[in-house]
Amino acid sequence: MTSVVSHKDSPTTPTFDEIYQEQARYVYNLALRMAGNPADADDIYQEVFLRVHRFLNTYRGDGLKTWLRRITVNVFCTQIRKQQRETPEEEVGSELSTVEGEPGTLLDAQELGEKLAAALNSLGTVMRAAMILRGVEGLSYQEIADLLEIPVGTVRSRLSRARLQLLSRLAGPA
């Protein structure tokens, strides 16, 4: 990769290379958790860094991870809407991390992981994003509301409905 200089003259603005080197793993892991599979995560990851490169001059210096999280969530939501228009009958796949232990434990963990991934993938885009931002990223309701540009009450109700849907799908026949 060639070196890219900062788009601003300000010494506090990181260069594209600095952002990429310091935050690439974070962006990819967030994309993977949201997408549920490496192929879609790769697409999201690449689009995020294309946008970072293109819009680095708009970065105001107020929280790099927050800025990257917003871009990643926006790209994820755009990708999901695009996929739903193109192939609405297909579910977004999932990849499971390996679990160490006895073969029976591995099988149980794999089955639970598959059920959970399928249940998460069946949620609507905003509910799924809210669940990941709350459960994995640990964001507050207000932070999620700001990021998704919806009222806090909507975040609460969507998380509540998402939890109920997840419980229902996990408890139901598989």
pLDDT of residue 52: 94
Q: Does 117 have pLDDT greater than 70?
A: yes
pLDDT in tens, 73-83: 889 888 877 76
pLDDT of residue 112: 60
In 3D space, the residue among 157, 85, 87, 83 whose CA is nearest the CA of residue 126 turns out to be 157
Residues of the chain with CATH 1.10.1740.10: 12-95
pLDDT in tens, 137-169: 888 999 888 888 889 999 999 999 988 888 888
Asked: is 12-95 a CATH 1.10.1740.10 domain? The reply is: yes
pLDDT of residue 98: 38
Between the alpha carbon of residue 5 and those of residues 2, 11, 120, 169, the distances in Å are: 10, 11, 40, 49
| CATH class, 100-174 region | mainly alpha
Residues of the chain with CATH 1.10.10.10: 100-174
